[in-house]
Structure 1
Amino acid sequence: MSNLLDSLTTELRRGTLTLAVLSQLQTKQYGYSLVQLLEQSGISIEQSTLYPLLRRLEKQELVESLWDTTESRPRKYYVLTDFGIEIYEKLKTEWLVNSKQLYDLLKGE
């Protein structure tokens, strides 16, 4: 039962992590700052999950990356593209509608 629950929980979290990451990239963030922002909101994400997700979002042209080399340690920043902002807004609306419907459904148990 534990393996099944773990698998279903991972599946449930996958989409929510994408939306959570997109929500924080309206301003440019580097990986560690993104992890911190998410953790402040109670959402934990491992770097081994975050970086592949950021690369996928970049391939989908939702996010763009840029290097900042002005400090002693170069950092790669990520930010939503215009297309990413459009998709994020639509996903957010979809999420809010779906979560309200699910909440109402579960509340009626």
Structure 2
Amino acid sequence: MSDLLTSLTTELRRGSLTLAVLSQLDTPQYGYSLVQRLEKSGIAIDQSTLYPLLRRLEKQNLVTSSWDTSESRPRKYYVISEYGTEIFQDLKKEWEKMSEELQQLLKGDD
């Protein structure tokens, strides 16, 4: 893959990763479990991409986090907030609309 294609693909994925992550936080997830859930659906995400994204989503009040210290290794769990659910539903509608429109453009004139 050329450098330009790699760059454009990364740019294309960036917005869709936010939607993908929000879609998986209806139940509390820690970083590694979230990576596994996304990969199971065919969406690869590196932890070095995921954690900054989760911090940004938390700062935007779209997700909340809490520590579970009951295990020997403490884990930070993330879950979508009520506000995040509203935004997610709106984003999902926008994604579906945009996907349909793009599909029409990519089909071309038949």
Aligned CA RMSD, in angstroms, stands at: 1.2
Taking the aligned partners of 1:16 and 1:42, their CA distance within structure 2 comes to 13
Q: Which residue of 1 aligns with 2:13?
A: 13
5+ residue gaps, structure 1: none
Structure 2: distance between partners of 1:90 and 1:74: 34
Q: Which amino acid aligns with 2:54?
A: L
Partner of 1:60: 60
Q: Which 5+ residue runs of structure 2 have no aligned equivalent?
A: none
SS where residue 48 of structure 2 aligns? helix
Q: How many residues align?
A: 109
Q: TM-score, length-normalised on structure 2? A: 0.95
Q: What is the identity percentage for the equivalent residue pairs of Structure 1 and Structure 2?
A: 72
For 1:90 and 1:102, locate their aligned partners in 2 and report how far apart those are by CA, in whole Å: 18
The answer for the alignment partner of 2:101 in structure 1 is: 101
TM-score normalised according to structure 1 size: 0.96
The list of structure 1 runs, each at least 4 consecutive aligned residues, that deviate by more than 2 angstroms after superposition, is none
The whole-number CA distance in structure 2 between the counterparts of 1:35 and 1:103 is 28
Other-structure match for 2:81: 81
